Amino acid sequence: MALGVDGVRVGTWTAPGGVSGCTVVLPPPGTVGAIAVRGAAPGTREAAALGPAGKVTVCSGIVLAGGSAFGLAAADGAMRWLEERGIGHALGAGVVVPIVGAAIVLDEAVLVPAARPGPEAGYAACDAAVDADPSEGGVGAGAGCTVAKVAGLAHAWRSGQGVAVRRAAGVSVGALVVNNAVGEVLAEDGTWLARARVADDVVRWPVNGRALGTGEAGDEVGPSTNTVIGCIVTDARLTKAEAHRVADLGHSGLARTLRPAHTDADGDALFCLATGARDATVDLVAALAADAVADAVRRGPLTASGRGDLPGLADR
């Protein structure tokens, strides 16, 4: 089952050439949704409504997309797809308003307008959604991702979307993470998994004291081409406040695996969807979520193949 939770479906759309894409997570009706943002440069949709102060409780779907702010338009297609199937907040007279949260990463599609995920891409990703294990690596929202840009984009690695599931005490928690971080990636044992491809003694950003945008010998990093976004899914029964706490503590998984994490140049955002099938404590769900997020963060670059001038760990 998708992300280890019954009733959840995941679909992807990848732009021609693999420079961008979008990924949708479609939960069963009545699923509680929330979001927590820790990065300083986010691009989101319905973040206020799904935030801790928002009145909205039920979420109909999540869209993760490339294309920077242009990619938020993919959520329009997901809304249309859900509305056609009568899924959303009922207003009477057969009218429904789907609540679709969305978050974006800044990838190559900013420079390739035809590759930016739009409404048709979001609709197509919903059409493709299934309850099987999602694809990983350079597909969907992970298609244009890179990591370890602390010494310049030229020394980075290809990345993508990763998936992980954790279970304990009869509860399942899955995470789908799109890893486009500026930071380098640590393995579970604390060794480097994806480090900038420069000598170990090169002083990296931000310790080198330069503004992000230049790296070793003036190498260009790019226009803040960073951010980690994702969706945590659980079959636990959570309130809106508890779902927000799980999303917030899920960011611990980013902090464990990325150096640095949650920077001014990252728009790190995590959603939480709780389907409500099982009783569980919020601390258990949050602990499982942090572990799943950490593993999914690693699997993005681990499963990505090289493209263009940048290598991928999957080719090793």
Q: Which residue has the higher pLDDT, 100 or 111?
A: 100
Range 2-315 classified under CATH 3.30.420.40: no
Q: What is d(CA 94, CA 44) in angstroms, rounded to the nearest whole number?
A: 28
Helix (H, G, I), strand (E, B) or coil at 221: coil
Q: What is d(CA 168, CA 176) in angstroms, rounded to the nearest whole number?
A: 18
Tens-place pLDDT, residues 183-196:
999 999 999 999 99
First and final C-alpha spacing in the chain: 29
Q: Which has the closest alpha carbon to 194: 308, 310, 302?
A: 302
Q: Is residue 19 scored above 50 in pLDDT?
A: yes
- Which pLDDT score is estimated for 92? 83
Q: Please, which pLDDT band fits residue 123 given cuts at 50, 70 and 90?
A: very high
Neighbour order of strands in the sheet with 161-168: 32-37, 269-278, 228-236, 171-179, 161-168
DSSP string computed for 114-167: GGS--HHHHHHHHHT-BSSPPP-BSSGGGTT-EE--TT-GGG-EE--EEEEEEE
Q: Is residue 222 scored above 60 in pLDDT?
A: no
DSSP string computed for 228-285: EEEEEEEEE---HHHHHHHHHHHTHHHHHHEES-S-TT---EEEEEEEEEE---HHHH
For all residues of the chain together, what is the average pLDDT?
94
Q: What is d(CA 84, CA 78) in angstroms, rounded to the nearest whole number?
A: 10
User: Which tokens go with 183?
Assistant: 């930071």
Contacts of 298 (CB under 8 A, 6+ apart): 162, 185, 187, 188, 193, 257
How many DSSP H helices and E strands does the chain contain?
6, 17
Q: What is d(CA 29, CA 273) in angstroms, rounded to the nearest whole number?
A: 11
Q: How many alpha carbons fall within 13 Å on the CB side of residue 51?
A: 10
Neighbour order of strands in the sheet with 21-26: 9-14, 21-26, 61-65, 100-104, 44-45
Amino acid type, 218: G
Percent of the residues in the chain that have a pLDDT greater than 90, as a whole number: 85
- Which pLDDT score is estimated for 213? 62
1, 233 contact by CB (below 8 A): no
Helix (H, G, I), strand (E, B) or coil at 302: helix
162, 136 contact by CB (below 8 A): yes
Percent of the residues in the chain that have a pLDDT greater than 70, as a whole number: 96
Q: What is d(CA 170, CA 173) in angstroms, rounded to the nearest whole number?
A: 10
Helix (H, G, I), strand (E, B) or coil at 74: helix
> What are 22's strand-pairing partners?
13, 65
Tens-place pLDDT, residues 131-174:
999 999 999 999 999 999 999 899 999 999 999 999 999 999 99
CA-based radius of gyration for the chain: 18
Q: Is residue 119 scored above 60 in pLDDT?
A: yes
